[in-house]
Amino acid sequence: MIRLATCSLCGHRFDPAAGQACASCPIAPNCSLVCCPRCGHVGVDPGRSRLARALLRLQAGRSATGRSAAGRSLADLPRDAEAKVTGVAPALGDELIGRLHAYGLTPGCDVAVIQRRPVIVLAVDRTELAIEEDIARHIAVETES
Amino acid sequence: MDCHSRAAGESEAVSGAVVALVGQPNVGKSVLFHRLTGMRVAVGNYPGTTVEVATAAASFRPGWRILDTPGVLTFPSRTEDEQVAAAALLDPDLRAVVHVGDAKHLRRTLQLTLQLAETGLPMVLALNMADENASWGVDIDPGQLSAALGIPVVETVATNGHGLATLAERIRDCPPAAAHVRYPRSVEDAVAELAAGLPPARVRSRSLALLFLAGDPVAERWLAGRLDGTALAAAVDRRARLTSELGGPVPSVLRAARAAAADRILAAAAPAGPSRRPRLQTRLGRAAMHPVLGLPIMVAALAAMFWFVGVFGAGVLVDLLETQLFAEAVNPAITGWVERVVPFDAARDLIVGPYGLWTMGMTYALALILPIVTTFFLAFGVLEDSGYLPRVAVLTNRVFKSMGLNGRAVIPMVLGLGCVTMATLTTRTLDGRRDRILVTFLLALAIPCSAQLGVVVGLLAGVSAAAVAIWSLVVLVVLVGVGWLAAQLIPGSRTPLVTEMPPLRIPRLGGVAVRTVARLEWYLTEVIPIFLVGSLVVFALDLSGILGAIIDWAEPVVVGWLGLPAATATAFVMGFLRRDFGAAGLFAMAGAGLLTAPQLLVAMITLTLFVPCIASVLMIARERGAGAAAAIVGVAMPLAFAVGGVAARVLDAVGWTG
Ligand SMILES: Nc1nc2c(ncn2[C@@H]2O[C@H](COP(=O)(O)OP(=O)(O)O)[C@@H](O)[C@H]2O)c(=O)[nH]1
Ligand SMILES: [Mg+2]
């Protein structure tokens, strides 16, 4: 997927990853500066800044509170949401799926989100289970609304 | 399994009379074990983090032995812990299995019961934590369950003894389990084909075949030792065929069938859904892992712990024992006695000389280390029993994520602040080989044990608070930095955190005491001999002049690179035997005014990062192999000196003088 940046000076939209000067620059991998190919204005690419990404994640976490569509993953649920698990992606690997199953997290079970940070904690039946977001993303849920 | 051999050796005394307690982690197996045995434990066992199989004589029936196994979440077994439990089930001396389950997690329990029942071993289901289940307002009908499962079902509360008399009764004459889950046709066919060719075992060949088909490594090893090559190859082939017939992993099909069977039983025996929630307990438990509220709670808990260990243990108790009892009464008496009785100078020195077995080894172990580890084990036992540690894992997961680990690593790390050797043992409870190696390495490198911590902090506090702060900062930076680097270098991917949060409970003094005593016994019987060997080695090195040679050899590094007086080399060599031996040596030098403040700080930093004591190196070799131990030592030593040297230069450049 190509993520386009907008030059803050001239408004030109361009692909920051295609910067020609960057290809040969030794500090490019850790550099968040981008240069507009049209006007030459040097700006920052928020997608490359750790802090900016963290801020974006925070905002995403907040906006998740507002949504309530069906057919999303556990990682998208806001705090205090209740949902039914509809599927666990095989990509998690059978070992992990087996462990989740042993804790009671199986397709068809009801879950409630107790907290989202620093780690997602769920109530599954009477078990409280902490799982990282990377795993929660592979668990499909549907919410009643 | 190696780790199981000691226990197995003892249980062979009376054949066919072993009763194994099996169940998920944290359901109360170890408490039940102590109840059923009257606490006469034979093998070191650290409940909560049970890592070895403990056996002891049953109090309800002479000649029988009870076996406490580490937790098993589900079969096929994956972790080392689970494999120990699986191996226990294949013990030919097994008389009965007690499946210990958590009554408030009935659905989870039944799925494991059905798996265990497949073995056809005589079996009882103990539904423990009946008290907590009752507080949820849920009634279970044990009679119904027992009828559906075909085995006795007893509700128990291990902590207060409720139901235990009945349980003992049922264990004595329980029938072989008969519950039977039907799997899809292709699975049943494969099971029938395999089972026909299996050697006789204490468990049903059906269950062995199922375990093998699911890929259980213990069942596989068991069969590999008993089947000839072609039969084994045919079995492996059959498993591959089944997997392709099913179009997915075998365990997932078995799980689904068992879950359906468990749900049918559940529907008949227990009313659905929680009706009431235990309020305060749940709320406290949630506050303790809350992203904001949790942090001050964690700081307070750790501060309380270190106050108890650092101020009460390392301060008050050590002062009482070392400076008052040993230095003023015991040691002069023993020295006087030895000097009267022992005729040779060398022999006298061996016992009461500067590196003597008594004056260095025993005094050190009993007067300095013992009070510190005792208070530490007490405090850790309280944390452990309260169910608080998994919450710390949640709160610290971020930090460990940067080191390529997950929050579960915090438990061995905190335990390492008590005794690195014991913490190395508990790395077994971590998720994969990669995590275990990484944590073992970090423990060896940058986690000071309580004895060392006491000496180091005590010494540096005498210099200034800044000295303690700089020392902590350097060690912490090395811990996180090296952890981050090692995570990039050690192959394999990180295991994300998945862990259960047990309810917060008020620690039971009895349980904490038993745990502390078990750990102290281990300390006294396994660590103190190593202290004595350490003293003996130093004594021999000193006597033969090798100590002098090593010190001469190390001098350029110590003097040139670290900028310390030549005599500190002795402390470093001692530090190799035991990190805090070294710290104590430095303490003496500082007392004599031989070290400046920056020198003391540099020496402490180097010594902390230095390899831990011989005991923990031996433990690393035992747990992770000699190669891993050599690699860890080989990396930690140069790194310690490198960091120490850099610190010396930085302190010098900024002109820090204390
Ligand atoms: N309320 C309650 N707590 C229990 C009961 N049995 C054990 N516990 C607690 O549960 C925790 C785990 O017990 P432990 O024996 O270490 O579990 P194991 O991992 O199965 O060996 C400890 O804090 C025990 O005090 C019980 O019947 N009721
Ligand atoms: Mg245990």
* pLDDT interval class at B19 (50, 70, 90): very high
- Backbone angle region of B62, left / alpha / beta, with phi > 0 → left and psi within -120 to 50 → alpha: beta
Q: pLDDT tens digits for A16-57?
A: 766 656 666 766 666 777 777 777 777 777 666 767 666 666
B45 CA to middle of ligand 1, Å?
Answer: 15
* pLDDT of A23: 63
Average pLDDT over every residue of B25-50: 66
- Please check whether the two domains, B17-172 and B185-269, share a CATH topology: no
> Maximum distance among all alpha carbons in chain A?
60
Q: Which ligand is nearest to the CA of B384?
A: 1
B401: Cα separation from own chain's centroid: 21
Of A54-68, B471-485, B587-601, which range is least confident?
Answer: A54-68
Cis-peptide, bond into residue B76, ω within 30° of zero: yes
Would the pLDDT of A65 be above 60? no
Domain with CATH 2.30.30.90 in chain A: 72-142
Position of tokens 């265990």? B116
- As a whole number of angstroms, the distance between CA B132 and CA B137 comes to 9
* pLDDT of A56: 65
B149: Cα separation from own chain's centroid: 34
Would the pLDDT of B28 be above 80? yes
Would the pLDDT of B125 be above 70? yes
The three-class DSSP label of residue B298 is: helix
Exposed e or buried b for every residue in B139-171, given b needs 16+ CB within 10 A?
ebebeebbebbebbbbbbbbbeeebbebbbebb
Q: Is A102's CB within 8 Å of B500's CB?
A: no
* CATH, domain range B17-172: 3.40.50.300
- As a whole number of angstroms, the distance between CA B68 and CA B508 comes to 19
Task: Report the mean per-residue pLDDT for chain B.
Answer: 83
B332, B339 Cβ separation under 8 angstroms: no
B81, B51 Cβ separation under 8 angstroms: yes
Q: CATH assignment of B185-269, given 1.25.40, 1.10.287, 1.20.1630, 1.10.20? A: 1.10.287
* pLDDT of B577: 66
- DSSP structure string for B123-177: EEEEEE-HHHHHHTT----HHHHHHHHTS-EEE-BTTTTBTHHHHHHHHHTPPBP
What number does the ligand 1 atom closest to the CA of B129 have? 27
> Which residue in A104, A117, A131 is closest to B107 by CB distance?
A104
Q: pLDDT tens digits for B44-53?
A: 333 334 456 7
What is the CATH architecture assignment of A72-142? Roll (2.30)
What number does the ligand 1 atom closest to the CA of B162 have? 27
Would the pLDDT of B116 be above 60? yes
Q: Is A135's CB within 8 Å of B496's CB?
A: yes
Q: Is B73's CB within 8 Å of A102's CB?
A: yes
In chain A, the residue whose alpha carbon lies closest to the alpha carbon of B137 is: A126
Average pLDDT over every residue of A61-76: 59
Average pLDDT over every residue of B334-351: 82
- DSSP structure string for B578-642: -HHHHHHHHHHHHHTT-S-HHHHHHHHHHHHHS---HHHHHHHHHHH-HHHHHHHHHHHHHHHHH
Q: pLDDT tens digits for A98-142?
A: 999 999 999 989 999 999 988 999 999 889 999 999 899 999 998
* pLDDT of B43: 39
* pLDDT of B51: 52
Of A23-32, B187-196, B248-257, B394-403, which range is least confident?
Answer: A23-32
| Greatest mean pLDDT range, B20-24, B446-450, B484-488, B635-639 | B20-24
Would the pLDDT of A75 be above 60? yes
- Count H helices and E strands in chain B, helices first: 33, 7
What number does the ligand 1 atom closest to the CA of B130 have? 27
B174, B22 Cβ separation under 8 angstroms: no
* pLDDT of B273: 56
Would the pLDDT of B3 be above 50? no
- Count A/B contacts: CB-CB distance under 8 Å: 95
> Which residue in A94, A97, A103 is closest to B500 by CB distance?
A103
Would the pLDDT of B96 be above 60? yes
B480, B438 Cβ separation under 8 angstroms: no
Identity of residue B35: R
Would the pLDDT of B274 be above 70? no
Instruction: Say which residues have a Cβ less than 8 Å from residue B250's Cβ, sequence separation at least 6.
Output: B187, B213, B214, B215, B239, B242, B243
Range 21-40 of A in CB contact (< 8 A) with B = none
Query: Kindly report the CA angle at A103 between A97 and A106, in degrees rounded to 5?
Result: 55
Ligand 1 surroundings by CB, under 6 angstroms: B 25-31, 47-48, 50, 71, 128-129, 131-132, 157-159, 385, 505, 508, 511
Q: Is B499's CB within 8 Å of A132's CB?
A: no
Percent of chain B with pLDDT over 90: 22
What number does the ligand 1 atom closest to the CA of B385 have? 23
* pLDDT of B625: 84
Average pLDDT over every residue of B346-368: 77
Which of B22, B78, B276, B499 is the best substitution to test chain A (most A C-beta atoms within 10 A)?
A: B499
Instruction: Say which residues have a Cβ less than 8 Å from residue B199's Cβ, sequence separation at least 6.
Output: B223, B226, B227
B223, B183 Cβ separation under 8 angstroms: no
Of A36-45, B147-156, B201-210, which range is least confident?
Answer: A36-45
B94, B22 Cβ separation under 8 angstroms: no
* pLDDT of B41: 47
What is the domain partition of chain B in residue ranges? 17-172, 185-269, 279-658
- As beta bridge partners, residue B20 has B67, B97
- As a whole number of angstroms, the distance between CA B358 and CA B355 comes to 8
Position of tokens 């329980």? B174
* pLDDT of A24: 66
B540: Cα separation from own chain's centroid: 34
Would the pLDDT of B527 be above 90? no
What is the nearest CA distance from A111 to chain B, expressed in angstroms? 13
- As a whole number of angstroms, the distance between CA B280 and CA B297 comes to 16
Position of tokens 């004594």? B539
* pLDDT of A29: 61
* pLDDT interval class at B251 (50, 70, 90): very high
> Which residue in A96, A101, A127 is closest to B500 by CB distance?
A127
Cis-peptide, bond into residue A118, ω within 30° of zero: yes
| Greatest mean pLDDT range, A15-24, B158-167, B306-315 | B158-167
Average pLDDT over every residue of B538-563: 82
Q: pLDDT tens digits for B79-94?
A: 777 888 898 898 888 8
